[in-house]
Chain A
Amino acid sequence: MLLDVREIICGYENTIIVDGCNFSVKKGDIACIVGPNGAGKSTAMKAIFGLIPIKSGQIIFNNEDITSLNPQERVIKGMSFVPQNNNIFQEMSVEENLEMGAFIHQTSMKENLKNVYNLFPILNEKKSQIAGELSGGQRQQLAVGRALMTNPVLLMLDEPSAGVSPIVMKDLFTKLKAISKMGTSILVVEQNAKQALEISNLGFVLQNGKNKYSDTGKALLQNPEVRVSFLGG
């Protein structure tokens, strides 16, 4: 098991948003967290990355307890995070964005840059353009590319399909599959449950901050209860 999240409880101030959830990601897998609005998906993701302190529970990554580490230390351990909003440096060029992604991983930067350009050829084409001028889909690719520059073991994405067209979304999911084939495990929080579950090995359905269903992606897609309440029949 690469990532094992045990019974985490977290939230803001006095409200508890994630109430004792369990998640796990195996090496080379894609896992997704889905659920209705306000289920606590993004909060859970942020807590796993250390952006929000957790009140109780345990996070094990690569057989190591990382519960008390801050986000930067988790990046060094091999986690990488693509936030939902503001996930690129708007005023810097595409290449500079990627260089900043490699800030703490300078040694293999050239190689990682080549890999990212292979994965997203459009970024190579536009490498000297200012990132703020890119289209929505290209921005999302750049955001994922930036996160890949640290050569992570686990890539975490917070609603990567938010605000992009269905075609771009499909393309992005194909890329995610390619990334996982290259050996990087992926944990993704998604609003578009159906598409996310289709590419996932494991799926976690959250409701009101609790695990409602956890199963393989396929099984969840076929589960009649899940279909009726979360996938629209």
Chain B
Amino acid sequence: MEIINAFALIINYIIIPGLTYGCQLALGALGVTIIYTVLRFSNFAHGELMSFGAMTSILITWIISYFGISIFPLPTIILALPISILITISYCLLIDKYCFQYHRKKNSKNVISLIVSIGVMFFTSGLIRVLIGPNDRTINDGERFIISARKFKEITGLTEGISLKLSQSITIIVSIIAVAFLFWFLNKTKTGKSMRAYSDNKDLALLSGIKTENVIFYTWLITGTLACIAGTLYGLDKSYKPFTYLQLVLPIFAAAIVGGIGNPIGAIIGGFVISFSELLITFSYNKFLSYLIPINFLPEGSLQILSTDYKIAISFIILVLVLILKPTGIYKGKLL
């Protein structure tokens, strides 16, 4: 019984949140990876694009709720998602047209596009604060739990409960659908293959008649979709605070690099590596051990490796370690 309780604790505090957070990071890292492989620059504005997507989702949810439409027990924001995806894509295409296109035409060095992306990041974050303000907003108006901890305890008779939030299962399901769709698109469709060809060998792609403009259009289409989904899911799971997305850029880049930059599968693996490391390192093992070893032997204190305040630092440490020890990442990616 004690062992089962220990496992329930791990599932509740590490496995389920880890999977959810991992999915959010993986979707973000995929967006970064797609831009990096096709347009050859690190898009630091990606976090803010996610925030932009989440913001449009909220604004549209407000409009939808105004008309009294709801799909309870699911949160209304699911209805808003398709429209906000379209708006995010349009925003991506606009910034490409007015910011990135100029340097692409001029054949500027990739690092210039990277700096432009930092400018876009600041602009977007400013725009978001003007449009929706810096406040914290809860956007989950659906059912909160699929299984609450208390109910789980009643059913199983365990002392530790496992709770599964609706937002967590939505995150995982939507991520699986988005990733499956992305891989189908890249590997099976003519357009997806032409994007891979373009990122593999640009000159030969041009010789084969693949048009740069089309490839770039589809790249932003995918990036905008992924950013909007990832941002909305993150806001749904936690709550929407514009400034958190700035902090999200670091774990996202860490995920993309750890997995092997330029490799979509690597980006997903990297997302989970980062999310589980963050949780495992900041988890307090005191209670977990109390189920496994006699109470007299239990060390004092919370048995945390690092306090949760250092959460962001963990992805930074992993990033540095990977760059020193295995610069190509877990899956062999392109060198930065």
Contacts and interface: CB of A to CB of B under 8 A. Distances in A.
A147 B327 CA distance: 35
A226 interface: no
B207 A86 contact: no
Interface stretch (A35-43, A93-101, A181-189): A93-101
Given A92-B193, A92-B196, A100-B194, A87 B206 contact: no
Interface residues of A, number: 22
A103 B210 CA distance: 7
B196 A72 contact: no
Which residue of B190, B200, B206 has the most chain A CB atoms within 10 A of its CB atom?
B200
A117 interface: no
Nearest to B211: A72
Interface string B197-239: 1001101111111110000000000000000000000000000
Contacts of A101: 208
A90 B202 CA distance: 12
B201 A88 contact: yes
Contacts of B210: 100, 103
B193 A72 contact: no
A86 B201 CA distance: 7
Contacts of A86: 201, 203-204
A103 B203 contact: no
B186 to A, nearest CB: 11
Given A76-B209, A103-B209, A103-B210, A92 B197 contact: yes
B190 to A, nearest CB: 8
A75 B201 contact: no
B194 A103 contact: yes
Given A75-B209, A104-B209, A91 B204 contact: no
A198 to B, nearest CB: 28
A104 B210 CA distance: 8
7 contacts: A75-B208, A86-B204, A89-B197, A90-B200, A92-B200, A96-B196, A100-B193
Given A71-B206, A90-B201, A100-B208, 10 more contacts: A72-B207, A75-B209, A81-B207, A83-B203, A83-B204, A89-B197, A89-B204, A99-B190, A103-B190, A150-B209
Nearest 6 A/B pairs, CB to CB: A104-B209, A89-B200, A100-B197, A103-B208, A103-B209, A91-B200
Interface of B: 190, 193-194, 196-197, 200-201, 203-211
